[in-house]
Amino acid sequence: MSPTGKKLSELAEYVGGRVVGDDAVIISRISPIEEAGPGDITFLANPRYARFLTNSKASAIIVGPHVIDEQFTQLGRGFLEVAQPYLAFAKILQLFAPVAEYELEINSSAHIEPSAKIGESVSVYPHAYIGKHAIVGNRSILLPGVFLGEGVEVGDDCVLHPNVVVRERCRIGNRVILHAGVVIGSDGFGYAGTGDQRIKIPQVGVVEIEDDVEIGSNTTIDRATLGRTVIGRGVKIDNLVQIAHNVTIGEHSVIAAQVGIAGSTKVGKNVTLAGQVGVVNHIQIGDGATIGPQSGVPRSVPPGALLSGGIGVAPHHEWLKVMTLLPQLPKLWNVVRNLERKVAQLVNREGKEQ
């Protein structure tokens, strides 16, 4: 399908939706609902933007079921009705988005050790370094400043953005995207002893990143103390995430920005960790669990659980009152328990007297 000048009916077939209104309108761009104009398609995935439907100048709007009525069909535009508007938007945006183009060459300023193996149609940009016995798969792209340590393996069709570091012996699967500044395989945070007797525990394991993973800028994934730190197939990780040694992330999980996961924790498949979630070490988070933003996870989580722990924002004077009361909660709890006992005694006494 060509990325320009497509009929709305063609887009509907592409995303598995149905057209209400003009199915022959030509769509050439996708734009935000408040900015869209003629020739644009936009989308409504969040009800809070419904007020824009009437005044939007878009030629077509992607909507969910039961959103449009007679009022909107009289506006003279097309609607693309789908079960999941945001998913349909993503598919159409992929269709119209320009494809990044890379120079298929190995720049003379890149340093590649003689024992390294480079696949076909690989691009290596200026000042990249590929260490001894490293392997780079077919059609992979190494942008400026990428560092691949000794024995690293990078699969086919990967894109490593500027200043990505993959330390020695770590393995990257196929179709993996590592954004700028990602560090794979730095030492895990491991020490033994206390005070001036504290010693570093050698981190001799590796990191394995499976196929179709995308990792955001400046995320760090530590190598295992022994064995492997594993990021499963299809996992999507945001910017500024810290994943410690020997952690396992199950397939197709999603981890938002500033999450921290301590060592040896096992995260299941299709788990969602929202922004700034903190997870302690040596626990398990079951398949399909969702943890809300700024939550601390101190113990294992069962499959499918929906948990939240962050404190919502409040007017400052109310927040001060809450913070003042928090240290007194244990005392208040004891007072309430004592009152409950006294009330129970009074009820029992009245019952006997009757």
Q: Which residues are catalytic?
A: 245
Between CA 283 and CA 277 the distance in angstroms is 14
Taken as a whole, the chain contains a residue count of 354
**Burial class, 52, CB count within 10 angstroms (exposed 0-12 / middle 13-18 / buried 19+):** middle
Task: Give the torsion sign (CA, 106, 125, 184, 202).
Answer: positive
Strand partners, 215: 178, 237
Task: State both tokens at 187.
Answer: 């030492």
Q: Is the dihedral of CA 334, 338, 341, 343 positive or negative?
A: negative
Q: ∠ CA(265), CA(266), CA(271), 5° rounding?
A: 120
CB 304 within 8 A of CB 289: yes
Instruction: With H, G, I as helix, E, B as strand and everything else as coil, classify residue 150.
Output: coil
Q: What is the torsion angle, in degrees rounded to the nearest 10, for the CA atoms of residue 222, residue 228, residue 229 and residue 232?
A: 150
